Amino acid sequence: MSVLDIQSILLNIVIVTLLLFLSIYLYFKYSYTYWSRRGIPHIKPKFPLGNNDQISPEATSYNIETLEWYKEFKGRGLKCGGAWSWAKPVLLIIDPDYIKDVLLKDFNYFMDRDMFSNPIHDKKNESLFVVKKDEWRNMRQKLSPVFTSAKMKVIFHTIMECSKPMIEKIEELERKKADIHIKDIVASFNIDIIGRVALGLESNCFADENSKFRQMAKEFVKVDFGRSIRLLMSRICEKTAQRLGINNVPTIMTEFFSSVIENNIEARRKYNIHRIDFLDLMMEVMDSTKDDKNPFTYDNLIANIILFFIAGFDTSTTTVHLALYELSRNPELQEKTRTEIMKVLEKYDGEITIEGLKEMTYLKQVIDETLRLYTPVQTLSRITTQSYTFKDSNITLEKDTTVLIPTMALHRDSDYYPDPERFDPERFNTEKKITRNPYVYLPFGNGPRNCIGMRLGIMQSSIAIIQIIKNFRLSLSPLTDKVTLRHGVFLLQTNEEVYLRVERI
Ligand code: HEM
């Protein structure tokens, strides 16, 4: 090949690259006229991030960039406003009445969540969280019986058993006068629970630091270069990412759970074993619907076990470890929580019971306030299933428009929560609660598509806090000061690690 040929090839590559870049640029620029073409107030986007505050390769869905958008729209006295995530126009809702319409009243227009999935190439991750329209309705109806009060009673005992090794581990660390990385401890407890509750398996996170379940939990939050690129693609060009077979959940997790579930089902069928766990309940649903028009398939079962694993450990771990962080910083609130716990336990002969949990109203306030200040799911998302006009307005959304509800921003709005950065469980006493619009407090979402595992999340968080507070006096380690929220992640994470010191009571 001559020098001239090489030069011509290089020139062609440069021209094609420039043309490609120009077309992307023009596409983005045109998209940035979307809200003005509809006469909807908006904030100014910048190429190429739109209004995102950073590239966010770890965010599988929208996160806390919406805090700033909220302030801007609220400052302008708007009920909602347009913004862009990369080139995608999204509408941010500010007004609690509009939020109620989206989540509850006009739910049929907003049934779907804006969350990437790949139904063609990744059927084993088509879980309740991501499926759309009738498929979601069917699946939700089939999975709701998994979370009844009767099932919760059985799960309660499992959680109690899982709390024993947690307390033993903290005792061991106390004897060594160690600074305790509390998130690690609580994560192990929650993984042990979900391993038992979902699959009837002991994950033994406290005995075995290299437990496979623990590794899988780490895998979910680990975002290496390759996964960053894939996640970014899924957010910027969804259709191309789907065609390329990109998936949301790491393949190693899907493979691990598929094989565990397959072996488990085989053994249960062979020896006619029945357990009261999610797997057994889902096997029942699978068998009883196999001849239906919309059966609950084997892939559906795998997808939802993986989802329950992720949802069950991460959100509750965030809640418990940050509640303990706040109680360590605020010794008088810690003492108040402990006094209530001891009083109720005394009434029930020192035992933790489901009835007793209901009577621990201050503990519930502590959890509510933690979920306000450290909301695990920071922004809720919906997509319009058909064209929709907001009441008493000329704001009309086309079908397939993304609508965002900035939960964390609402939770930190001083109009609803004076001095919002302060941890104050009194915000959730009965008198204060009834005077507040319920749509400005949404840690579990709301409406028919709210969190299906809410009661389980609250129960496992309550038991963890009770067990730790009743056994140990907590204080912050000098290794920990103030925590700040990490940008660019879907499920809340802090920039700093929390270390505690404990003293046996
Ligand atoms: C403190 C703990 C938890 C918090 C803060 C939390 C929060 C949330 C939020 C905000 C949503 C979205 C709701 C919406 O879009 O309106 C959600 C959905 C969901 N959560 Fe949770 N969650 C927690 C625990 C759990 C647990 C323990 C499970 C199950 C084991 C679970 C399973 C789910 C599922 C399956 C969905 C999707 C529901 C649907 O689309 O129909 N969550 N959660």
Instruction: Determine phi and psi for 317, rounding to 5 degrees.
Output: -65, -45
Residue pair 464/166 in contact (Cβ under 8 Å)? The answer is yes
> What are the tens digits of pLDDT across the range 80-120?
999 999 999 999 999 999 999 999 999 999 999 999 999 98
Nearest to 172 by CA among 217, 206, 209, 211: 206
From the list 394, 454, 467, the residue with the least C-alpha distance to 146 is 454
Question: What lines the ligand 1 site, CB under 6 Å?
Answer: 113, 128-129, 140, 307-308, 311-312, 315-316, 319, 371, 376-377, 380, 443-446, 449-453, 456-457, 461
Closest by Cα among 304, 301, 309 to 196 = 309
**Cα 316 off chain centre by:** 9
Per domain, the residue ranges of the chain are 118-485+494-504
Residue 224 scores a pLDDT above 90: no
Mean pLDDT of 11-27: 94
The torsion region of residue 77 among left (phi > 0), alpha (psi -120 to 50) and beta comes to: left
Q: Which residue has the higher pLDDT, 274 or 169?
A: 169
DSSP secondary structure string for all residues of 201-242? ----TTT-TT-HHHHHHHHHH---HHHHHHHHHHHH-HHHHH
In 123-148, which residue ranges form alpha helices assigned H by DSSP? 133-143
Q: Convert 301-326 into a string of H (helix), E (strand) and C (coil).
A: HHHHHHHHHHHHHHHHHHHHHHHHHH
Task: Give dist(CA 483, CA 142) in Å, integer.
Answer: 40
Compute the average pLDDT of residues 400-409: 98
pLDDT surpassing 80 at residue 3: no
Nearest to 144 by CA among 287, 303, 304, 258: 304
Per-residue pLDDT band at 2 (split at 50, 70, 90): confident
Contacts 24+ apart (CB under 8 A), 36-41: 38/82, 38/396, 39/394, 40/80, 40/81, 40/82, 40/91, 40/395, 41/73, 41/76, 41/78, 41/81, 41/82
**What is the best residue among 309, 439, 444 to mutate for testing ligand 1's pocket, by most ligand atoms within 8 Å of CB?**
444
- Per residue in 119-141, pLDDT (tens digit) is 988 999 999 999 999 999 999 99
Thinking of the domain 118-485+494-504, which architecture would CATH place it in? Orthogonal Bundle (1.10)
Range 289-295 average pLDDT: 91
CA of 456 from ligand 1 middle (Å) equals 10
Extract the tokens encoding 62: 């929208």
- State the pLDDT confidence band at 60, using cuts at 50, 70 and 90: confident
Determine the distance separating the centroid of ligand 1 and the alpha carbon of 74, expressed in angstroms. Answer: 27
Mean pLDDT over residues 203-229, rounded? 87
Residue ranges of the annotated binding site for heme are 451
pLDDT > 90? residue 1 = no
Binned at pLDDT 50, 70 and 90, residue 206 comes out as very high
How many angstroms separate the CA atoms of 309 and 297, rounded? Answer: 19
SS3 184: helix
- What is the number of the ligand 1 atom nearest to the C-alpha of 143? 35
Residue 413: is its pLDDT beyond 90? yes
Q: DSSP 3-state helix, strand, coil percentages of the chain (rounded to 5)?
A: 55, 10, 35
**pLDDT above 90 for 454:** yes
